[in-house]
Amino acid sequence: MKPRLFTPGPTPVPEETLLELARPVTYHRSAEAKAVLAEVTEDLKYVFQTAHPVFTLTCSGTGGMEAAVANTLAAGDKAILLTAGRWGERWQGVLKAFGVETVAVKVDYGKAVTPEMLDQALGQHPDAKAVFATLSETSTGVGHDIEAFGKLVAKTDALLILDGISGLGAMECRVDAWGVDVCVTGSQKALMLPPGLAFVSASPKAWRRIDALPPRGFYLDLRRYRKSLADSDTPFTPANTLIRAQRASLKRIRAEGIENLWARHARIAAACRAGVKAMGLELFAERPNSALTVITVPAGVDGSGTLKKLEKQHGFKLADGQDSMKGKIWRLSHMGYADAFDVLGALAALELVLIEGGFKLEAGAGVAAFQKACAAGK
């Protein structure tokens, strides 16, 4: 049986990138290593759509989120948190650990925070120093209107700080044009690398804040990364083989072109949604994004059991809901190195397992609708 990975991180890694990871290890303080980091940094700026340096940190996405909080806020500062799921709650956990007074604008799982809600919160809390948002709320499949958020926050002194971990590179996100002051992403999502690196951008507005605050912590102190990056270097021994491999995956993104890449993800996501609906299933997210499709487990179906069967019988690994959502949703990623034919296969396998389990469904309904949507180029 052929294993196929459809979890919303880690995601499949291109073969040429995997082979890069098997190459002998080299020294991280050499002219070659600096050239690699310089190239990766330029390509990351392209992916982020920013003119400002993007920093490469050796850590999980959460380490990047901690860098975003620890560098921009002092204990006791107030922040507005827009939370629509588990990753909004991750922001909350980090904010709490750093003593930030958090005003939570919270919606139920499956819903999206609206620009109106943010507008109201900004009006009520003019002293908020930052707004924390999530591009793709991977726990529910919701995408947020960051462009609209950015317009509102830009009018204030607050910073817009974005968890772009599972969305960046899979859906439109223009860091500079949209006024995102700090954007965090991870290597293991649309950037087509195994986990291990986080990437963080900072706007001039963010830097003014950072430079005015005393440092909190050492390893994630962005000033150290800025100083080193001026010489195409890193302050601490980086995961240099991951960085070298990231170059290979970024080359693929450059070759496709960021707008084509967003459009491809949007097409596949739309086709996937059409297929899901044609199978008689419902989407969980009211504002679905292009990184993943989240399906509500229908009544009477064993959600977790179905995923186990899907993996055991057909090799397709989708993700279950997390924590309280376990067994209630299925999460199917189409980020990064996944094309329409991959996702078509996943829907076909899901059809088979559902039919076998007694769910009323006409075989081929989902895949035909998916195919029709692809043919229509939607």
Name the residues that contact a copy of itself, by CB under 8 A.
3, 5, 7, 9-13, 18-19, 21-28, 30, 58-63, 65-66, 70, 93-94, 97-98, 186, 188, 194-196, 215-221, 235-242, 317, 319
- Counting Cβ atoms within 10 Å, is residue 316 exposed (0-12), middle (13-18) or buried (19+)? buried
In this complex, which beta carbon is closest to a copy of itself, that of residue 63 or of residue 141? Answer: 63
Return the structure tokens found at 155. 């009018």
SS3 string, 190-258, reads: CCCCCCCEEEEEECHHHHHHHHHCCCCCCCCCHHHHHHHHCCCCCCCCCCHHHHHHHHHHHHHHHHHCH
Return the structure tokens found at 321. 């809901």
β 78-83/130-134 pair status: parallel
Q: Provide, rounded to whole angstroms, the least separation between the CB of residue 67 and a copy of itself.
A: 9
Q: Provide, rounded to whole angstroms, the least separation between the CB of residue 79 and a copy of itself.
A: 15
CA end-to-end span of the chain, whole Å?
32
Q: Provide, rounded to whole angstroms, the least separation between the CB of residue 347 and a copy of itself.
A: 19
In this complex, which beta carbon is closest to a copy of itself, that of residue 17 or of residue 41? Answer: 17
In this complex, which beta carbon is closest to a copy of itself, that of residue 134 or of residue 188? Answer: 188
Helices (H), 49-114: 61-72, 86-97
Are 20 and 159 a contacting pair, CB within 8 Å?
A: no
In this complex, which beta carbon is closest to a copy of itself, that of residue 312 or of residue 378? Answer: 312
In this complex, which beta carbon is closest to a copy of itself, that of residue 70 or of residue 278? Answer: 70
The rounded distance, in Å, linking the Cα atoms of 221 and 108 is: 34
In this complex, which beta carbon is closest to a copy of itself, that of residue 6 or of residue 370? Answer: 6
In this complex, which beta carbon is closest to a copy of itself, that of residue 61 or of residue 179? Answer: 61
Q: Provide, rounded to whole angstroms, the least separation between the CB of residue 38 and a copy of itself.
A: 19
In this complex, which beta carbon is closest to a copy of itself, that of residue 350 or of residue 361? Answer: 350
The rounded distance, in Å, linking the Cα atoms of 162 and 245 is: 25
Q: Provide, rounded to whole angstroms, the least separation between the CB of residue 19 and a copy of itself.
A: 6
Q: Provide, rounded to whole angstroms, the least separation between the CB of residue 65 and a copy of itself.
A: 8
From the DSSP assignment, how many helices (H) and strands (E) are in the chain? 13, 15
In this complex, which beta carbon is closest to a copy of itself, that of residue 156 or of residue 249? Answer: 249
Element housing 98 (H / E): none
Q: Provide, rounded to whole angstroms, the least separation between the CB of residue 339 and a copy of itself.
A: 16
Return the structure tokens found at 17. 């990138």
- The identity of residue 242, as a single letter, is L
Q: Provide, rounded to whole angstroms, the least separation between the CB of residue 204 and a copy of itself.
A: 25
- The identity of residue 123, as a single letter, is G
* Backbone conformation region of residue 110, classed left if phi is above 0, alpha if psi is from -120 to 50, else beta: left
Q: Provide, rounded to whole angstroms, the least separation between the CB of residue 364 and a copy of itself.
A: 28
In this complex, which beta carbon is closest to a copy of itself, that of residue 270 or of residue 335? Answer: 335
Instruction: Tally the C-alpha atoms within 13 A of residue 269's C-alpha that lie toward its C-beta.
Output: 27
Element housing 292 (H / E): strand 292-296
Q: Is 80 helix (H, G, I), strand (E, B) or coil?
A: strand
Q: Provide, rounded to whole angstroms, the least separation between the CB of residue 369 and a copy of itself.
A: 27
- The identity of residue 117, as a single letter, is M
